[in-house]
Amino acid sequence: MAETKFDLLVIGGGPGGYVAAIRAAQLGLKTALVEKEHLGGICLNWGCIPTKALLRSAEVYRNAQHADSYGLKINGLAFDLKKIVDRSRAISKQLNSGVGHLLKKNKVTVFDGFARLLGGGSVEVEKDGKPVDQLSAKNIILATGARARVFPGLEPDGDKIWTYREALIPAEMPKSLLVVGSGAIGIEFASFYLTMGADVTVVEVLDQIMPVEDAEISQFARKSMEQQGMKIHTGTKVKSLKKVKNGIVATLESGGKTSEVTVDKVITAVGVTPNTENIGLDKAGVKLDEKGFIATDEWCKTSASGVFAIGDVAGAPCLAHKASHEAIICVEKISGQKDVHPLDHSRIPGCTYCHPQVASVGLTEKRAIEKGYKVKVGRFPFMGNGKAIALGEAEGLVKTIFDAKTGELLGAHMVGAEVTELIQGYTVAKTLETTEADLMHTVFPHPTLSEMMHESVLDAYGRAIHF
């Protein structure tokens, strides 16, 4: 095996890894990337993108079901599950090919295989359990991602108990479904299957669904989902799953009492586990934090000289856009670029593409108060917005939180149609350290959903016009 030397070697081809490799090549570094399965990683192939394709099909189907309210007639409405799944997979395949093209265009050398650190800047690449290449690099970036967490007694079997992978490619629509966990992944799948006709039950061990979100927004979303027919149990634990002839019997525990629910399928969505096993961390001297993720500093440096880690393997929040941003910061720091800034986690937006959508950036109201801020809070409902009413999407809320002393925008939280697109306005505002005065003086176009962002700011200071 001929040793191949590089300035930078990236292990993992997901949204952190391939972005890091391309940026490094742009900056003139001789760069290689090792990927063991799919370019684009879980996000592109089995996560963010294919789920959004499924949810888009569900959205179109939902709108068609309410065509009469728009003055339209649709007869014989139905769906073809195979075509829905095939469309989702085709989109992932298209984007996977696109990533390969971008890497080739930027002259990144791609190795197909499993990479393992040997220490001292050396990496061994295996394929089908056999060594195929030995590489070396001045700097190595670990971007190995994460996988679905598995709890004892809730082990997926690929048949009746699913992870996100099986949930993305159902052969038939289950009549009933239990979703364990109400984070973004769980709630998105719950929303998809509910819209497509399944009887959906969601179980969350904490006291609110979408636990990272503002409590008021979470409660609004929960009420809407329950009105759609979703059954939601918070403060509840799944004690066991028993396979029976016609499905799964789940034993639930809440407040010391147990109950049972029988369903066709179960989706486990109880978080992720970092992919740190068997990649040679011990040999390279890379340390983990108390949660099992790779410990890094503000520049993504690990405890080992010349070794960096980005994305899910380096800890929460496990989001593709966080991984991509870390990739840029890490590579630009390695290459000696000036004016590089560490990632401010308070400026990372979060989006959940359920119905209704949920999006946020910054501190929740509760967290802001816990941190000692005296806050001003503004709210504006979708039902007060002309564009939302015209769209037939009058269910939603925009909430903004300001430091009463300085006017700093501390957080923004939204639930309703297209809020996953709207949230970036507040994210830019936080990056620019915008105050309430800046937002008040900004002209928002009419008629748009974005006007609600302005009205929410005005409401925080008792100046709302339309509500």
Catalogue the active-site residues. 446
**DSSP secondary structure code for residue 69 in this structure:** G
Q: Which two tokens stand for residue 180?
A: 């364990």
Residues 6+ apart with CB under 8 A from 442: 454
Q: Which two tokens stand for residue 15?
A: 């949204």
Q: Are 91 and 254 in contact (CB under 8 A)?
A: no
- CA distances 315 to 211, 272, 292, Å, are 17, 10, 9
As a whole number of angstroms, the distance between CA 423 and CA 440 comes to 17
- CA distances 188 to 185, 192, 209, Å, are 5, 6, 12
Task: Check whether the bond before 447 is cis (ω within 30° of 0).
Answer: yes
Give Cα 401 distance to the centre of its chain: 23
Helix axis angle for 48-65 and 81-105, nearest 10°, is 140
As a whole number of angstroms, the distance between CA 143 and CA 325 comes to 13
Q: Which of 445, 448, 440 is nearest to 465 (CA)?
A: 440
Helix (H, G, I), strand (E, B) or coil at 420: helix
